[in-house]
């Protein structure tokens, strides 16, 4: 089975901040595993959803072997480990990537990436949701699907959808940034 990837980037499509982007993200499947990584960090960090067992965000083995910066000195290369989410009616929400307009930057846009539109507003988050379905379960005909479903060897399928979520601020004024993580 050839390795396929869903490629996308969060990008402000219109407004004063048009063109600001997250840079690319990748979701791909290999055998029974699903991987998630920001394109610029995919050779260093990636999320690995290994079937129903080990879900984690880790430094890649390739990066450790290269000796390149940043040097990882911890014995466990996976500082974040997760319990797989349960299936509900044959489907599960496996992982969510969230971005907000003020986290986007002026970066080149890769024309191969599907552009996920981000509203030019400070009070919303744009979500890319990674879903899984058991073999034989239908995938919803969802217009917010990014790319195409990926198939695991078990027959499970993985797909990405997009949603907008309003953030619960009690003010009309844009709050200042407290911190950020840019991948």
Measured CA to CA, the distance from residue 156 to residue 150 in angstroms comes to: 9
Measured CA to CA, the distance from residue 30 to residue 5 in angstroms comes to: 10
Tell the residue number behind the tokens 């911190």, with chain if given.
179
Q: How confident is the prediction along the chain (183 residues), in pLDDT tens digits per residue?
A: 456 899 999 999 999 999 999 989 999 999 999 999 998 876 888 999 999 998 999 888 888 888 887 777 888 888 899 999 999 999 999 999 999 888 899 999 999 999 999 999 888 999 999 999 999 998 888 889 999 999 999 999 999 999 999 988 766 766 665 555 544
pLDDT tens profile 67-97:
887 777 888 888 899 999 999 999 999 999 9
Q: Give the full edge-to-edge strand order of the sheet including 33-38.
A: 80-82, 55-59, 45-50, 33-38, 21-30, 5-12, 114-118
pTM for this predicted structure = 0.87
Q: What is the 3-state secondary structure (H, E, C) of the chain?
A: CCCCEEEEEEEECCCCCCCCEEEEEEEEEECCEEEEEECCCCCCEEEEEECCCCEEEEECHHHHHHCCCCCCCCCCCCCEEECCCCCECCEEEEEEEEECHHHCECCCCCCCCEEEEECCCCCEEEEEEEEEECCCCCCCCCCCEEEEEEECCCCCEEEEEEEEEECCCCCCCCCCCCCCCCC
pLDDT of residue 171: 65
pLDDT of residue 1: 47
């Amino acid at each position: 089975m050839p390795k396929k990837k869903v490629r996308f980037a969060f990008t402000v499509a219109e407004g004063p901040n048009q063109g600001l982007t997250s840079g690319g993200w990748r979701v791909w499947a290999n055998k029974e595993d699903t991987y998630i990584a920001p394109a610029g960090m995919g050779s260093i960090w990636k999320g690995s959803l290994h079937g129903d067992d080990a879900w984690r965000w880790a430094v890649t083995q390739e990066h450790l072997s290269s000796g390149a910066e940043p040097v990882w000195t911890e014995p466990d290369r996976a500082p974040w480990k997760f319990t797989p989410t349960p299936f509900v009616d044959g489907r599960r929400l496996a992982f969510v990537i969230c971005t907000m307009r003020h986290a986007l930057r002026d970066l080149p846009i890769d024309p191969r990436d599907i552009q996920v539109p981000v509203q030019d507003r400070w009070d919303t988050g744009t979500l890319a949701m990674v879903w899984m379905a058991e073999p034989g379960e239908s995938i919803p005909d969802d217009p917010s699907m990014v790319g195409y479903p990926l198939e695991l060897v078990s027959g499970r399928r993985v797909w990405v959808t997009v949603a907008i979520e309003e953030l619960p601020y009690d003010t009309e004024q844009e709050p200042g940034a407290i911190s950020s993580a840019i991948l």
